[in-house]
A and B are shown apart, each in its own frame.
Chain A
Amino acid sequence: MFKLALRDTRASALRLAMSVVAVMLGVAFIVGTLCLRNVLSTTFGDIVDSGYRAAAYVESPSGVGNLVTNTRGDQVIPIDLAQQIATFEGVGAVIPEISGQAILVGADGTAVTGGGGAPSLGFAADGADPTMTISQGVAPSTSSQVALEESTAQRAGLTVGDPTTVIANGVIHKVTVSGLVHFDANMAGATLVLLDPDTARAAFAPSGTVPYLAVYAASQNDTSAAAPGATRTLSASAEQDFVDSVRQQLEAAGLSSQDYTVASGSSVREAATAQTSEQVGFISSLLLIFAALALCVGAFVIANTFSMTIRQKQREFAMLRAVGASPFQIFTRVVVQAVLVGCVGGLLGVAGGFGLVQGLRAVFGSVGMDLAGDLALTPTIAFVGVGLGVATAALSAAFAARRAALTAPVEAMRESAAPTVRPTRLRTRVGLAAVGLGAVGLVGNIVARRIDHDFGGALPYGLSCAVLLIGALMSAPVVAPIFIRAVSMPFTHATRPMGALAAGNISRNPKRTSATAGALTVGMALVAAAAVLAASTNASVKGLVEKEMTADFIIQSATFSVSADATAQIAQLPEVGLAAAFTTGTVQFDASTGGHTVSTTGETTGGTTGGMPAVPADTQLEIGGAQPGSFTAVWSTPALAGTFDTLGQGAAIIQKSFATQHDLTVGDEITVTGHTGSRSIPVGAIFDSAALGIPLMVSTDVLNELVPAEGQTINTVMVNGADGVPQSQLRAALAKVAAPYLVLSVMDQDEFTGHLTAQIDQVLTVLYGLLALSLVIASLGIMNTLGLSVVERTREIGLLRAVGLGRGHLAGTFIIESILTALFGTVLGMVVGIAIASGLPSLLAAQGLSELIVPWQPLVYMLGLAIVVGVAAALWPARRAAHLPVLDAIAAVE
């Protein structure tokens, strides 16, 4: 039986080739994702390891932050502490972390970026830092000198002695490159600039505090001949001893404080690694979902292929049964074939996935982001890939195999044409029930949410969508003939007999048509839902901006932090009537206290929220500061309770959602704690603005009292022109101020809307790219089905040729069939996708999604794409059919 299976496989190699390709694509995607995850983990792991080399760290309760995600802990540790600790026994060097955002201007005059979102940072060049090696030139010692990390210099096109500009924390410095610095790990495209200690301190630690101190043990100095001067990591026990020793000495010197603790280097590295793993895990989970989708689509193709092959071989199996083969033997024979397909496809997929990642690495490398990890492909991944391929193939073919095994021997005597198959009643009933259930669930969710905004959520909604989709797929065979007839009716007479032939062929086996089109259905449903979501989001954003933004111009930075210098200059421009800066700082809030105590901590430059592992996330909140009076001039949102004038009286204005969440009304007192002081602030007004993402705002005076200057970030600057100044003049003046800072954008209302929608469109493009894979597999499926049906209908083709159907017309029949199938799958998917997306506004109303727009343009493109897919998939089978010699076809044995 095994030999039979092998022999048969060789004979039908071409038929199985497409199943192999389907498995290969799905497995390649999965293997590629897993390899990519490996690569990213290794790369970021390297960065963490080389960035946090010290044996001990003096850190605040919020931790040291994370180099990769560019976040920092609270800046509370006095720099002078470093000098004192340096005198302790066993301590080699103590390096305070003086760093922040810095933008480097390259040789071509533009800001140096690393691609892929890599950060752009400035550091203090500390001579005592054991991890820093000057490879060329000298370390910077004056404010007009900087040193560059090696790959940064390469990307910038700068060498020792070149003049350039550095913008450190919003302040422009004209400098010369004094030297190049080497770090041990590759920095994955990050831009690193080293400043002299004084300038760095002024820019990044003006109040004399830093986020942490790196304490290196004297024993970390590697005095071995192999790597003289390098820093080695201590063993776990040695490290722990060192940490204890430093702690004791701190106590002994009376320097202990509640503000900081001593942590071991390993714990710091572990915390940072855990964080990056979380982020990498999120991305790779998303990719794995798409990969699984691709594999499912591939499973469709395989199941279809084997189903058709089995039907063809029905007589052969019946004959085998008649000569005494057991059902199990026949089952095994089919499954063996499937396993072979899975093996070959799996192996090819593993190779493909690995190649994919290598290609990706090359692409990233060309934009400056070097990824590490020489051995992305581990034996585990390869095993998983092949295993998945085999499992998918075997399972998909199992149903068809079962049918083959149970073929009665008497079938061998029957001679019939390809039978017409009606969909089973049970499946149809279940399918329609599922559709009904899903629809009810969706509508129910929508209605319930209108009544009570917190009802349900993503999970019940997602479930309803899934049920709807599955129901649609199951009941598709019933819908298919109706759809086909409706679509083809206008053309049937004009294209007779091809139209009628094509439509008839599809309707003859609706189950197979639906299975073939199913892959397209799933892919198109997601694409349609995404398109509707994107269009709706864009419209909502546009609506919001139009409604609420009343300023003439808005200025934002690509680094999310507008330079304070630039802001001051803008405010002084004669063309400017009012410049309102929105500043932010991070808040800590303890939900369990019932909402009346809110503490603030400063957010340091260059980062977003300081979400550190040591502090639970739900205690963090961002607050904003605005100049009283200017707020209403540039932003139009009504006060639902109270008045905005209270800002000037030291009160806070809060968002409606925040008020509801913490049971606050106008007049309630909130206790606010910052590291420089605490205040009790009354609630002055409540407003509802989805565009302004900040839940709580105070006046700039109050913010200044709570958060140090280096903890504040100017998020946006809104500008109104002075009376009588034309827009163009105002824009020119603003642009002139903004230009030297390189990363600032001056936008009017339309440009701002465009800026926001561009980000949404970017995400959409990535989604389209991922779904394109499922489309490729789907068209493979159609090609597969058509190819096999050519074989199945050989006699019929012979008959048609004998009565005079030309080759071109015969090919045309297949092409029309393919187009109709593709159209059916697409339209079904679109309907489901739009249904799914229609409920999203009610689900995401809190996030600002207020409108539902069904964009007809992308949908028409999708229909066009379906036709293209249909034609492309049919070309090869149609050609095969057309070139079948008439005589052979007529004489073929069914």
Chain B
Amino acid sequence: MSLRITLPAPQSSTVIAHARGLSKVYGSRATTVTALDNVDVDFERGKFTAIMGPSGSGKSTLMHLLAGLDTPTSGEVVLARRAVSQLNQRQLTKLRRTEMGFIFQSFNLIPTLTAAENITLPLDIARVAVDQEHMTRVVTALGLAGRLHHRPAEMSGGQQQRVACARALVSKPAVIFADEPTGNLDSATGREVLTFLRRSVDDLGQSVVMVTHDPVAASYAHRVLFLADGHIVTEQEDPTAESVLQVLGAVTRASRSLQEV
């Protein structure tokens, strides 16, 4: 936890979230593990950003810190003009209802609620009225119109992920954080979900940050950040699956050779 009290750095209208000097260190003196080392990064509004890297690179940690699910050892995170890294639990909880959306790899839905109840869950918690028009639009676009009163157990994996997407979108959050959203899906269903995420960015101006290890998934993003050993080593604009694969391979090899030294 950083002891510096900083004022949030001014954000331009194009940056929805940023991190400055972000570090996360686990363990004590003898056995420290540096998951993130002094990372600076900006995320543009209305853009789809993918974060990639070999295992242990710190990509998941970065996303957790951005989303306020974890507290940094040092540095700051600002999201939608709020200094996320300095908020307490109560304030963070409030933020999660309206300014953040989450899509996990699996177990996205509450099993005892219907699809409709799952979708409006964050808004119900916040006691904010649901924008019915927006909801209808999202539901139709995702092809869930006939499934609203079903329970998760009655839906396929792909349908469940789509419900999770709907939930993330309905509250119109500042950022949607997706952690390997297509990891448990077959390629066809996965492509469906990714297509929809990209469309929500293009058509609705939604900002999405996605952690993935799949080059095909990364190809749907506007920008890909590559992490290794707690640093951002490179990035790529307008990626394709092949270009991503190439860079990923190089990063992995470099990281491994560093380790062998």
- A contacts, CB < 8 Å to B: 415, 417-418, 420, 496-497, 500-501, 504-505, 507-508, 795-796, 799-807, 809, 886-887, 890, 894
Chain A CB within 8 A of B70 CB: yes
Is B93 within 8 A of A799, CB to CB?
no
Is A802 within 8 A of B96, CB to CB?
yes
Chain A CB within 8 A of B34 CB: no
Is A803 within 8 A of B167, CB to CB?
yes
Chain B 45-73 interface residues, beta-carbon cutoff 8 Å to A: 64, 69-70
* B107 contact set on A, CB distance < 8 A: 417, 795-796, 799, 894
User: A890 to B125, alpha carbons, bound, how many Å?
Assistant: 19
> Which residue of B is nearest A418, CB measured?
B111
Pick the contact of A497 from B90, B93, B104, B125 — CB < 8 Å? B125
> Which residue of A is nearest B112, CB measured?
A504
> Which residue of A is nearest B94, CB measured?
A804
> Which residue of A is nearest B184, CB measured?
A415
What's the least CB distance linking B64 to chain A, in Å? 6
What's the least CB distance linking B72 to chain A, in Å? 13
Q: A803-B121, A806-B94 are in contact. List 14 more A-B contacts (CB 8 A).
A: A417-B107, A417-B111, A497-B113, A501-B112, A504-B113, A508-B111, A508-B112, A799-B107, A802-B96, A802-B102, A803-B125, A804-B125, A886-B69, A887-B69
Is A497 within 8 A of B102, CB to CB?
no
* B153 contact set on A, CB distance < 8 A: 420
Query: With A415-B106, A420-B111, A508-B112 in contact, do A802 and B126 touch (Cβ < 8 Å)?
Result: no
* B189 contact set on A, CB distance < 8 A: none
User: A804 to B64, alpha carbons, bound, how many Å?
Assistant: 15
* B106 contact set on A, CB distance < 8 A: 415
Is A807 within 8 A of B89, CB to CB?
yes
Pick the contact of A803 from B64, B90, B96, B117 — CB < 8 Å? B96
For chain B, which range describes its interface: under 10, 10 to 19, 20 to 34, or 35 or more residues?
20 to 34
What's the least CB distance linking B96 to chain A, in Å? 4
Encode contact with A along B120-148: 1 for CB under 8 Å, 0 otherwise: 01101110000000000000000000000
Pick the contact of B117 from A500, A795, A800 — CB < 8 Å? A500
Is B108 within 8 A of A799, CB to CB?
yes
Most central of B102, B104, B124 by chain A CB within 10 Å: B124
Pick the contact of A807 from B93, B102, B126 — CB < 8 Å? B93
Chain A CB within 8 A of B41 CB: no
User: A415 to B105, alpha carbons, bound, how many Å?
Assistant: 13
Most central of A417, A800, A802 by chain B CB within 10 Å: A802
Is A804 within 8 A of B126, CB to CB?
yes
What's the least CB distance linking B57 to chain A, in Å? 17
Query: With A804-B96, A805-B93 in contact, do A887 and B64 touch (Cβ < 8 Å)?
Result: yes
Q: What are some 5 contacts across the A-B interface (CB < 8 A)?
A: A504-B113, A801-B93, A803-B97, A803-B121, A805-B93
> Which residue of B is nearest A803, CB measured?
B122
Is B112 within 8 A of A800, CB to CB?
no
Is A507 within 8 A of B112, CB to CB?
yes
Is A890 within 8 A of B104, CB to CB?
yes
Chain B interface main SS type: helix
Chain A CB within 8 A of B233 CB: no
* A497 contact set on B, CB distance < 8 A: 113, 117, 121, 124-125
What's the least CB distance linking A883 to chain B, in Å? 10
What total of A-B pairs shows CB separation below 8 Å?
76
User: A388 to B108, alpha carbons, bound, how many Å?
Assistant: 46
What's the least CB distance linking B66 to chain A, in Å? 13
User: A807 to B117, alpha carbons, bound, how many Å?
Assistant: 20
Chain A CB within 8 A of B110 CB: yes
> Which residue of B is nearest A503, CB measured?
B112
Is A796 within 8 A of B125, CB to CB?
no
* A809 contact set on B, CB distance < 8 A: 125
What's the least CB distance linking B170 to chain A, in Å? 11
User: A236 to B167, alpha carbons, bound, how many Å?
Assistant: 92
Pick the contact of B90 from A420, A508, A806, A894 — CB < 8 Å? A806
What's the least CB distance linking A811 to chain B, in Å? 13
* A496 contact set on B, CB distance < 8 A: 124
> Which residue of B is nearest A505, CB measured?
B112
User: A806 to B127, alpha carbons, bound, how many Å?
Assistant: 13
What's the least CB distance linking B176 to chain A, in Å? 12
> Which residue of A is nearest B101, CB measured?
A803
What's the least CB distance linking B25 to chain A, in Å? 16
User: A894 to B70, alpha carbons, bound, how many Å?
Assistant: 21
Is B69 within 8 A of A806, CB to CB?
no
Encode contact with A along B73-103: 1 for CB under 8 Å, 0 otherwise: 0000000000000000110011111101010
User: A796 to B152, alpha carbons, bound, how many Å?
Assistant: 13
* B113 contact set on A, CB distance < 8 A: 497, 500-501, 504
Most central of A507, A801, A806 by chain B CB within 10 Å: A806
7 tightest A-B contacts by CB?
Answer: A504-B112, A804-B97, A804-B96, A803-B122, A497-B124, A806-B93, A802-B102
Most central of A795, A805, A894 by chain B CB within 10 Å: A805
> Which residue of B is nearest A795, CB measured?
B107
Query: With A500-B113, A890-B69 in contact, do A799 and B104 touch (Cβ < 8 Å)?
Result: yes
Is A805 within 8 A of B125, CB to CB?
yes
Is B70 within 8 A of A887, CB to CB?
yes
* B96 contact set on A, CB distance < 8 A: 801-804
User: A418 to B109, alpha carbons, bound, how many Å?
Assistant: 13
User: A598 to B255, alpha carbons, bound, how many Å?
Assistant: 111
User: A675 to B44, alpha carbons, bound, how many Å?
Assistant: 115
Is A799 within 8 A of B89, CB to CB?
no
* B112 contact set on A, CB distance < 8 A: 500-501, 504-505, 507-508
Pick the contact of A796 from B98, B102, B110, B117 — CB < 8 Å? B110
What's the least CB distance linking B183 to chain A, in Å? 12
What's the least CB distance linking A548 to chain B, in Å? 61
Query: With A497-B121, A803-B122 in contact, do A796 and B111 touch (Cβ < 8 Å)?
Result: yes
User: A802 to B126, alpha carbons, bound, how many Å?
Assistant: 13
User: A327 to B132, alpha carbons, bound, how many Å?
Assistant: 55
User: A775 to B64, alpha carbons, bound, how many Å?
Assistant: 45
User: A496 to B130, alpha carbons, bound, how many Å?
Assistant: 13
Is B126 within 8 A of A501, CB to CB?
no
What's the least CB distance linking A507 to chain B, in Å? 7
> Which residue of A is nearest B60, CB measured?
A891
User: A887 to B97, alpha carbons, bound, how many Å?
Assistant: 16
* B125 contact set on A, CB distance < 8 A: 497, 803-806, 809
* A886 contact set on B, CB distance < 8 A: 69
What's the least CB distance linking A133 to chain B, in Å? 78
